[in-house]
Structure 1
Amino acid sequence: MEFKMEGLTDFQRDLLEVAQKKLPKESFKIMRKIGSKARTQVAKDARIKVKKETGNYHKRFKRGKVFKDADNQIVVRVINNAPHAHLIEHGHRQVTNDGKEVGFTPGKKVMETGIKNFDNSGQYENMLSDWLDDLLDSGDL
């Protein structure tokens, strides 16, 4: 899932590019913070959508490592490493003990809607703009 930077001005986008080149460790640090906020938002949305306590599903939302992708963009992932998370996310067949299919449970799309809600909340842009302001105030840029 990718975040859109619609709330940033052109000047802030240019500053962000300079900061990513000049201060890569600081860029990774802010992306870890943003990823943690996104994980919290996704987990909160999951508790609303998935009412049933199914194993350790709600406890296993994690923020992945920050890395640079093929397009040289800094990326952080939000994942759920529960063994049955994909079944809740994408849906699954309902099968009896003798193998007869009796129905299909549609997926809840928890990750997709959680990331969209985080993206639409404006927290991403606010955190980035605050970070850029702090870098400018401290004289690091």
Structure 2
Amino acid sequence: MGILDTKDLEELEKEVIRLARSYPKETKKFLQKQGNKLKARAIKKAKSKLKEKTGNYLKGFKRGKVYKYKEEEDTVRVYNYMPHAHLIEYGHRIVGKNGKEHGFKKGHFILEEARSEFQDEFIKAADNFVDDIIKKGGF
């Protein structure tokens, strides 16, 4: 058995603290990059599913800021800020000028489908990110 020196433990502690300080900046960059990829995927999905190419719906996709979700997890949100986006996303009643209902337009669920398709790619990227952080830390 080897002898454990307290000096080695102190050096390990300093390395862990240094790694912990650099972690938030690296995480923020990583999440912003992944959010941009998800936004691009959502726009691509919207272009393929929607017949209407005019309007501002495609311009409305945004990546939000990185924030703490429930005070625990770092999160980034991709959304569409256009006032009619929820109608395209979830569907709506079709109502004539006289107020008579003519049916229901089903939603396309573009953001949900883009998120589910992107999930596997994100998990792989997150695993690589964690490996890189550990390697940079010298562990």
TM-score (structure 1 length as normaliser):
0.76
Task: Name the CA distance, whole Å, in 2 between partners of 1:42 and 1:24.
Answer: 26
Q: Which amino acid aligns with 2:66?
A: V
- Please, what is the CA RMSD of the aligned residues? 2.3
Q: In the alignment, is residue 68 of structure 1 matched against residue 68 of structure 2?
A: yes
- Please list every run of 5 or more consecutive structure 1 residues that lacks an aligned counterpart in the other structure: 1-17
1:3-55 C-alpha deviation (Å, 9 max, x unpaired): xxxxxxxxxxxxxxx9x954112111111111111111111111111121241
What's 2:28 paired with? 28
The letter of the residue matching 2:55 is: G
Within 2, Cα distance between the matches of 1:140 and 1:43?
Answer: 39
> Conserved in 2, the CA contact under 8 Å of 1:94 and 1:102?
yes
Map 1:106-125; keep pairs closer than 5 Å. Answer: 106-119=106-119, 122-125=120-123
Instruction: Give per-residue Cα distances to partners, 1:37-86, cap 9 Å, x unaligned.
Output: 11111111111111212411112111111100115101111101111100
Counterpart for residue 51 of structure 2: 51
Write the letter of the residue equivalent to 1:73: E
Structure 1 pair 88/54, CA: closer, same or farther in 2 (3 Å)?
Answer: farther
Change (3 A) 1:140 1:74: farther
Structure having greater relative contact order (Cα 8 Å, sep ≥ 6): 1
**Deviation digits for residues 95-139 of structure 1 (CA, Å, limit 9, x no counterpart):** 1111111111111111111100111xx321232233233323333
Unpaired runs of at least 5, structure 2: 1-16
Q: Tell me the distance in 2 between the aligned counterparts of 1:126 and 1:80.
A: 26
Counterpart check, 1:132 vs 2:119: no
Shift of 1:140: 6.4
C-alpha distance in 1 between matches for 2:94 and 2:20: 51
CA distance in 2, matches of 1:54, 1:85: 14
Q: Any conservation in 2 of the 1:46–1:114 contact (CA below 8 Å)?
A: no
Give the alignment's TM-score, normalised by structure 2.
0.77
